[in-house]
Amino acid sequence: MYFLYILECDDGTLYTGITTDVARRLYEHQNKKGGHYTRAHGAKRVVYTEKHKDRSSVQKREAQVKKLSRIEKMKLVRAC
């Protein structure tokens, strides 16, 4: 099982990623073992997740979500 997730960063920005374990990945981001973006902006909390059956489908969805504006991402977060 794969997950798409959106993190709220310490500075209020949003970060989108994929993983097989959301809790582990958040821990990595919070302890500076995640991506460059979250090392610079910090990782506060997970605000959104989606479950996907395979890596291919979650990567396609990640590409779609990353193209969304901040306002559109916030609407997605609020809808869950």
Tens of pLDDT along 51-78? 999 999 999 999 999 999 999 999 999 9
Residue 32 burial (CB count, 10 A): 11
Q: Which domains does the chain have, with CATH numbers?
A: 2-79 (3.40.1440.10)
Q: Tell me, what's the pLDDT at 48?
A: 98
Tens of pLDDT along 17-53? 999 999 999 999 999 888 899 999 999 999 999 999 9
Q: Tell me, what's the pLDDT at 72?
A: 97
In this predicted structure, the answer to whether residue 80 has a pLDDT above a threshold of 80 is no
Amino acid residing at 73: K
With H, G, I as helix, E, B as strand and everything else as coil, classify residue 9.
coil
> Left (φ > 0), alpha (ψ -120 to 50) or beta: where does 32 sit?
left
